[in-house]
């Protein structure tokens, strides 16, 4: 039987095991929606803004490890996806975005709602496609999912002209496999290079593991833990690697870098070996490169060859899938105790505690986050926005299971917290999901509270409301002579009334004593809730290594002249 292009899209999505699509229709993509309505197995969640569709797909992908799917119409619908696609690309998130395009005959004529979306997304997708024949629909979708989820994952966009969706028909033939001559994700690393790495590990006196996002993507957490425990090697986790190693593990030093634990950064400074796993030596991790880990040799394992020797020279680069490479490597590593090194690090922890919450009657965001972690016992999925609250969540929340911290790390896209939390909850309905928001970011995407309500997506939103664009404000405070130009919101909406306007509960918390109860109350309500935590406005995130500087320039405490 011949099917329309739109029906072939639906059949293909079913073949890929897709269960949910986040999207918003429009003229060019409407034929797809006409078909979707006849495929009840493909749940479509209608959003209020396309940015929410792509970021929800992102949250879904991060929470489940599966490919997130979103759709939008041509022109403005497609361009509204751009920020979310860029974020997914930076953080290696598998997404397939399907966009409608104007009919083939109208392409290139500046037609209504026409944009060159494959051109626009070229540098921010892993790959993209403009489908120009109905016979290509099924193979392209198969290829798109394959490319999105394999190797170093990433977003793939498929742009399909309206006439192919609507008018063109062909037999639905699902290809058996994908054959891409120029695309062969690496698996195991060469044995002799692994042996070189093993030798370095066995000889090291002050080794450190840097576990990045690749640890989660490759499901290598057990192997990382085995390596750490076998040879007693302390572990630091990058922002995106945080939930790959339990926060409460005695070898976990937390996050290093700009707002990382002082002892983690100081330990890297003293280390004689870095074992970098699925991470890319981002500038927020390294600071000034020439001062980064000056005493260390580097073993760098990554699946993307272009990450090896990009920022930091690897003594032993290992190209491969992290789980497989560790499977080769860990059995050859000798048991070790590194007693002196661990004692040294323990002393660093005592001298540079990094996460002490000072005694005050004021409501500090750090205090709120610690209470939240107590209430959820580190088992909730925490989805953050970007800025101060994101860093505090990374510092003060506990993460005991993989994929429980969901955050826009590379792109640092504010507004991520609302839609990504929706996607995470849709993907993991069994988990408690908290969206930790800033009042700035929340207002970028809060229109999709309606999506949460409409679909009863049970996300708890905790706004760290300080009335300022906190991280920018902090930079003004520390580096721009306290010129707080354009970072203060003098008239925020009443977030409690706003929640009520959306038909959900809103709770305002101004006092420390109310925090625990409000969190408990929110968790007992069987649906989305907004808590407006009115927190201290001019609190800064410490420790801080200023941009482009090194661990030696780290600010650990708010010194008097640095406190507003």
Contact segment (CB under 8 A) with other proteins among 99-107, 114-122, 351-359, 368-376 equals 114-122
Of 38, 313, 343, 552, the one binding other proteins by CB under 8 A: 313
Q: 144-179 burial, b if ≥16 CB within 10 A, otherwise e?
A: bbbbbbbbbbbbbbbbbbbbbbbebebebeeeeeee
Of 127, 249, 270, 349, the one binding other proteins by CB under 8 A: 127
Of 229, 282, 304, 454, the one binding other proteins by CB under 8 A: 304
Torsion over CA of 499, 500, 504 and 506, rounded to 10 degrees? 60
| Residue 119 or 429 having the CB closest to other proteins | 119
Q: Which of residues 146-175 bind other proteins (CB under 8 A)?
A: 147
Contact segment (CB under 8 A) with other proteins among 2-10, 31-39, 315-323, 478-486 equals 315-323
Query: How far does CA 124 lie from the centroid of its chain?
Result: 16
Active-site residue, 112 included? yes
Of 80, 83, 193, 403, the one binding other proteins by CB under 8 A: 193
CB atoms within 10 A of CB 557: 14
| Residue 174 or 183 having the CB closest to other proteins | 183
Give how far Cα 32 sits from Cα of 43, 57, 115, 121, 141, Å. 13, 18, 19, 21, 14
Cβ within 8 Å of residue 444, ≥6 positions away: 414, 415
Active-site residue, 162 included? yes
Show the CA angle centred on residue 401, arms to residues 395 and 406, nearest 5°.
55
Q: For residue 21, list its beta bridge partners.
A: 44
Q: CA-CA distance, 294 to 207, in Å (whole number)?
A: 13
Of 76, 294, 305, 548, the one binding other proteins by CB under 8 A: 305
What is the pairing mode between strands 2-4 and 169-171?
antiparallel
Give how far Cα 141 sits from Cα of 10, 45, 102, 174, 372, Å. 10, 20, 19, 10, 41
179 lies in the site for other proteins, by CB under 8 A: no
Of 77, 246, 317, 320, the one binding other proteins by CB under 8 A: 317
| Residue 300 or 425 having the CB closest to other proteins | 300
| Residue 40 or 123 having the CB closest to other proteins | 123
| Residue 27 or 186 having the CB closest to other proteins | 186
Of 196, 232, 332, 492, the one binding other proteins by CB under 8 A: 196
**x/- string (CB under 8 A) for other proteins, residues 319-358?**
x---------------------------------------
Whether 328 contacts 191, CB under 8 Å: yes
As measured in angstroms, the least distance from the Cβ of 431 to other proteins is 34
Of 227, 255, 316, 545, the one binding other proteins by CB under 8 A: 316
As measured in angstroms, the least distance from the Cβ of 113 to other proteins is 21
Give how far Cα 169 sits from Cα of 2, 6, 141, Å. 6, 9, 16
Whether 276 contacts 299, CB under 8 Å: yes
Q: For residue 72, list its beta bridge partners.
A: 24, 99
Query: How far does CA 286 lie from the centroid of its chain?
Result: 19
Whether 103 contacts 27, CB under 8 Å: no
Which runs of consecutive H residues, i.e. helices, occur in 281-429? 283-286, 322-329, 339-351, 365-376, 388-396, 417-427
Q: Given 15, 19, 113, 549, which residue is catalytic?
A: 113
Of 17, 182, 526, 560, the one binding other proteins by CB under 8 A: 182
Give how far Cα 541 sits from Cα of 349, 416, 545, Å. 18, 20, 11
Q: Given 471, 474, 539, 544, which residue is catalytic?
A: 471
Of 219, 310, 349, 431, the one binding other proteins by CB under 8 A: 310
Contact segment (CB under 8 A) with other proteins among 80-88, 247-255, 299-307, 448-456 equals 299-307
**What is the DSSP code (8-state) at residue 176?**
S
Of 76, 108, 122, 205, the one binding other proteins by CB under 8 A: 122
Strand, helix or coil for residue 496:
helix
Active-site residue, 113 included? yes
**Token digits of residue 451:** 């999506």
Of 123, 176, 179, 481, the one binding other proteins by CB under 8 A: 123
| Residue 147 or 498 having the CB closest to other proteins | 147
As measured in angstroms, the least distance from the Cβ of 521 to other proteins is 49
Torsion over CA of 30, 31, 35 and 41, rounded to 10 degrees? -40
As measured in angstroms, the least distance from the Cβ of 71 to other proteins is 22
Size of the site for other proteins (CB under 8 A): 26
| Residue 181 or 335 having the CB closest to other proteins | 181
Q: Given 7, 11, 16, 50, which residue is catalytic?
A: 50
Q: Given 2, 112, 171, 379, which residue is catalytic?
A: 112
37 lies in the site for other proteins, by CB under 8 A: no
**Token digits of residue 79:** 């361009």
Query: What residues line the site for other proteins (CB under 8 A)?
Result: 118-119, 122-123, 126-127, 130, 147, 180-183, 193, 196, 304-306, 308-310, 313-317, 319
Catalytic residues: 50, 112-113, 162, 471
């Amino acid at each position: 039987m011949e099917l329309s292009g739109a029906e072939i899209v639906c059949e293909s999505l079913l073949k890929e095991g897709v269960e949910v699509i986040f999207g918003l229709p429009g003229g060019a993509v409407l034929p797809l929606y006409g078909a979707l309505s006849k495929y009840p197995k493909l749940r479509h969640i209608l959003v209020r803004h396309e940015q929410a569709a792509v970021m929800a797909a992102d949250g879904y992908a991060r929470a489940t490890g599966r490919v997130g799917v979103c759709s939008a119409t041509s022109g403005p619908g497609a361009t509204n996806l751009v920020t979310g696609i860029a974020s997914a690309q930076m953080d290696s998130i598998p997404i397939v975005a399907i966009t409608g395009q104007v009919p083939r005959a109208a392409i290139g004529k500046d037609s209504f709602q026409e944009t060159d979306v494959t051109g626009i997304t070229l540098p921010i997708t892993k790959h993209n496609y403009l489908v120009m024949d109905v016979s290509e629909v099924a193979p392209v979708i198969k290829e798109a999912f394959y490319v999105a989820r394999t190797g170093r994952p990433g977003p793939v966009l498929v742009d399909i002209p309206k006439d192919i969706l609507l008018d063109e028909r062909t037999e639905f033939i699902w290809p058996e496999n994908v054959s891409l001559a120029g695309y062969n994700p690496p698996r195991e690393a060469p044995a002799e290079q692994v042996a070189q790495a093993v030798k370095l590990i066995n000889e090291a006196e002050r080794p450190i593991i840097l576990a990045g996002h690749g640890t989660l993507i490759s499901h290598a957490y057990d192997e990382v833990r085995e390596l750490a425990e076998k040879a007693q090697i302390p572990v630091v986790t990058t922002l995106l690697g945080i939930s790959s190693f339990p926060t409460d593990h005695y070898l976990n030093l937390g996050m290093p870098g700009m707002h990382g634990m002082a002892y983690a950064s100081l330990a890297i400074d003293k280390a004689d070996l870095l074992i970098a796993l699925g991470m890319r030596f981002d500038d927020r991790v390294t600071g000034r490169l020439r001062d980064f880990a000056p005493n260390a040799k580097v073993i760098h394992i990554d699946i993307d060859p272009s990450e090896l020797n990009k920022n930091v020279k690897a003594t032993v680069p290992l190209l491969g899938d992290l789980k497989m490479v560790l499977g080769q490597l860990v059995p050859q590593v000798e048991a070790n105790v590194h007693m002196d090194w661990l004692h040294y690090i323990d002393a660093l922890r005592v001298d540079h505690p990094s996460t002490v919450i000072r005694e005050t009657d004021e409501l500090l965001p750090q205090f709120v986050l610690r209470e939240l972690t107590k209430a959820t016992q580190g088992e909730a999925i925490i989805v953050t926005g970007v800025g101060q609250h994101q860093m505090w969540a990374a510092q003060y929340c506990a993460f005991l299971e993989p994929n429980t911290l969901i955050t826009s790390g590379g792109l640092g896209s504010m507004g991520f917290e609302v839609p990504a939390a929706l996607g995470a909850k849709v993907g993991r309905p069994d988990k408690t999901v908290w969206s930790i928001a800033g009042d700035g970011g929340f207002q970028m995407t809060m229109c999709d509270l309606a999506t949460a309500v409409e679909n009863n997506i049970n996300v708890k939103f905790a706004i760290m409301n300080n009335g300022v664009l906190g991280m920018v404000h902090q930079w003004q405070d520390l580096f721009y002579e306290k010129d707080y130009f354009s970072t203060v919101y003098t008239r925020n909406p009443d977030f409690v009334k706003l929640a009520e306007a959306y038909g959900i509960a809103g709770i305002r918390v101004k006092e420390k004593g109310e925090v625990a109860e409000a969190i408990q109350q929110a968790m007992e309500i069987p649906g989305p809730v907004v808590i407006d935590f009115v927190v201290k406005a001019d609190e800064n995130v410490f420790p801080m290594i200023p941009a482009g500087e090194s661990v030696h320039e780290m600010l650990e405490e708010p010194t008097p002249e640095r406190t507003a």
